[in-house]
Amino acid sequence: MKVLVIAEHDGKSLRAASLSCLTFAQQVAQATEGTVSWLVLGSQATGVAAEAAKFAPVLLVESSRLARPMADSCAAAIANVAKNHNVNLIAAASTSFSKDVLPRAAALLGGAMASDIVRHEVTAEGLLFDSPQYAGAVTATVQLLGSPQVVSVRSSAYPAATPAAAPFGIEAIAMEDATLASRCEFVELKTKQNSRPDVTEARIVVSGGRALRNSADFEGLVGKLADVMGGAAGSSRALVDAGIAPNELQVGQTGKIVAPELYVALGISGAVQHLAGMKNSRTIVAINSDPDAPIFDVADLGLVGDVYEVVPQLIERLQSR
């Protein structure tokens, strides 16, 4: 199979999630005696393309119209490349970028798409994909009918690809301005300055729930514990809804999906929608004042207690180690 991986980047560097998606693509290509290339879209993306080329050959579409990754222009570019290069499978890491862009590209290419896949299998009848449904309660094994096939891949399900001994080539593709025109105009991106890693990229995630009463407490308990553990701070939906934590910290069915080595849930009840985002973590620690909180059903280590008392003690002990 000829596999195309959409590289997600911020103009400067590749996102880690894309490297996990590349591993998926390499596995499929290997099992089907196929090939893999990246598709890098951007306005000044030669740096990103060079970084990507350490891992696999790169197709590069550069245009000032791609300065912001708008769904209509990115989808048109992806469909254009897929058609001209006879691509059989298009993959991107499951992120808010690809959730926006990829289905739109898939629709331009016939509509064969599977979302959020966590496993694949190459069979005589073709590729099968596992895709979680019902907030992760059920896993469906699905087959796509039609070509090209389009999939978004959960980065937590595949390890990051490793660079090759020597870099691959970069092929620039010219595309007409009309193809790349967007009818969406970017106004602004409000992002909270965050010195901590993203929840999807950290080895340790400390998340806070409704037990935290305000932003200062969230920062002082959840943020501080994340810092002393060298991890990322995350949140349940409840705190984001309350304006106590920014939306990009939300873990769960509609937030980010994480599977770190250690997930610490502070004052989170353990609703199915939250569990959907973290239950594949290697070790789960729960601290909750309610001994019957459902989070304890999935926790490897549970401590019944008030986060306002327990967390400062944890921070102090860890700092004095």
Ligand X SMILES: Cc1cc2nc3c(=O)[nH]c(=O)nc-3n(C[C@H](O)[C@H](O)[C@H](O)COP(=O)(O)OP(=O)(O)OC[C@H]3O[C@@H](n4cnc5c(N)ncnc54)[C@H](O)[C@@H]3O)c2cc1C
Work out whether strand 119-123 and strand 126-133 pair parallel, antiparallel, or are unpaired.
Answer: antiparallel
Residue closer to another protein by CB (options 164, 186) is 186
Residue closer to ligand X by CB (options 10, 309) is 309
Among 262, 265, 266, 293, binds another protein (CB under 8 A): 262
List the x/- string, 50-89, binding to ligand X by CB under 6 A: ----------------------------------------
**Sign, CA torsion 63/256/19/79:** negative
Q: Is 283 in the site for ligand X (CB under 6 A)?
A: no
In 3D space, the residue among 155, 182, 184, 161 whose CA is nearest the CA of residue 95 turns out to be 155
Q: Rounded to whole angstroms, how far apart are CA atoms 113 and 191? A: 30
Site for another protein in 187-216 (CB under 8 A): 187-192, 198, 200, 203-204
Q: Are 71 and 38 in contact (CB under 8 A)?
A: no
Residue closer to ligand X by CB (options 54, 210) is 210
Distance of CA 7 to the CA centre of its chain: 12
Among 127, 288, 296, 299, binds ligand X (CB under 6 A): 288
Among 67, 172, 216, 303, binds another protein (CB under 8 A): 303
Per the DSSP assignment, residues forming a β-bridge with 304 are: 288
How near is the Cβ of 49 to another protein at its closest, in Å?
A: 21
How near is the Cβ of 74 to ligand X at its closest, in Å?
A: 25
- Residue 267 interacts, among another protein, ligand X, none and using kind-specific CB cut-offs from 5 to 8 Å, with ligand X
Q: Are 20 and 158 in contact (CB under 8 A)?
A: yes
| Phi and psi torsions of 150, nearest 5° | -125, 130
Q: Are 92 and 152 in contact (CB under 8 A)?
A: yes
Q: Rounded to whole angstroms, how far apart are CA atoms 91 and 261? A: 26
DSSP structural state of residue 34? -
Among 146, 163, 213, 214, binds another protein (CB under 8 A): 146
Q: Is 210 in the site for ligand X (CB under 6 A)?
A: yes
Candidates 40-48, 51-59, 97-105, 211-219; binding stretch for another protein (CB under 8 A): 97-105
Query: Number of residues in contact with ligand X, rule: CB under 6 A?
Result: 26
Residue closer to another protein by CB (options 54, 104) is 104
Q: Rounded to whole angstroms, how far apart are CA atoms 218 and 269? A: 16
- Residue 176 interacts, among another protein, ligand X, none and using kind-specific CB cut-offs from 5 to 8 Å, with none
How near is the Cβ of 293 to ligand X at its closest, in Å?
A: 4
| Phi and psi torsions of 302, nearest 5° | -120, 140
- DSSP for 221-277 reads IIIHHHHHHT-EEEE-HHHHHTTSS-GGGBBSTTSB----SEEEEES----HHHHTT
- Residue 308 interacts, among ligand X, another protein, none and using kind-specific CB cut-offs from 5 to 8 Å, with ligand X
How near is the Cβ of 42 to another protein at its closest, in Å?
A: 15
Among 11, 111, 159, 163, binds another protein (CB under 8 A): 111
Q: Is 321 in the site for another protein (CB under 8 A)?
A: yes
